[in-house]
Structure 1
């Protein structure tokens, strides 16, 4: 996983790596990933939980008590429950979304998968989705999972990001290039 200068990504990467190694060693990667996705959904959908995670106003004890109550209510595995309590007691809940993202990337790499972010001008139909996944799989030599979004400003075509690589076949980019070329000629 690429490192960056952001302190959140460094913290998140270390926590995600530790959890990944523990889950891998005990053979619970899939369960751990599913439970982390549940907690990410909880962050996304519950404003109170999101405030607990993001706000520096809560003390370590308050965060730990709240996470303890949530863990008791949700009932995740011992590994995930203890991990969340450690993150809370160390006042690192702010990094939880990045930890989840980092863990999922490590788990996908472990399974031989790669995630492609696909932005299209219009929603892809099932046949286009299958063809694109097949072409990207041939390109990367890995199983590709696609995260799709629609941006009508592209006008047509696609923008595909896989890791640090980007393939831009959008009509907007082609028109911008043509416009620039015409300015240089004239």
Structure 2
């Protein structure tokens, strides 16, 4: 998972950075707006959770791992394939460590799509442009959205079924798609604070 809008889209989240002023979704039907409210209520209520995921990249590269969520502000992606790769949001920054390359990178949480998903209150009616709401007879639905301030930088499809978030697909500005399927997702309690701490393991201790 690279430090980019495409792969940090959980935003992944709601997984699009939604920081622009409120914009009315006037083109949506009343049923579509009801679906948006349903999704928003669900995401806001998902305050602590854990599970497993499968990520499929633009070249069909497959990655797997576990994730932990503690809102507001904290999330951990722990890859088991490739083993050791970590992406951790600690409430202020998003940190990424790749042991194969021995690299550590950090960006402010507010500059990533995770910021909205990890906010205390998830809002799908502010700063986001809803391109499409797809409803199915089974009760499953999908929402296609993009950042209202930067609509050309890509889009996200959030898919819900069985009363929970099932997956999301991020399409970047170049059309490359990354799909993240949540193979398991369950509420969690008592998650250790150490899960959401990632110090730079490449930094050598200073000598006094």
Please give the range of the TM-score, normalised by the shorter of the 2 chains.
Answer: under 0.3
Computing the radius of gyration from Cα coordinates, the structure with the larger value is 1
Would you tell me which structure has more helix in proportion to its own residues? 1
TM-score normalized by structure 1? Answer: 0.23
Q: Which is richer in strand?
A: 2
TM-score, normalised to structure 2's length?
0.21
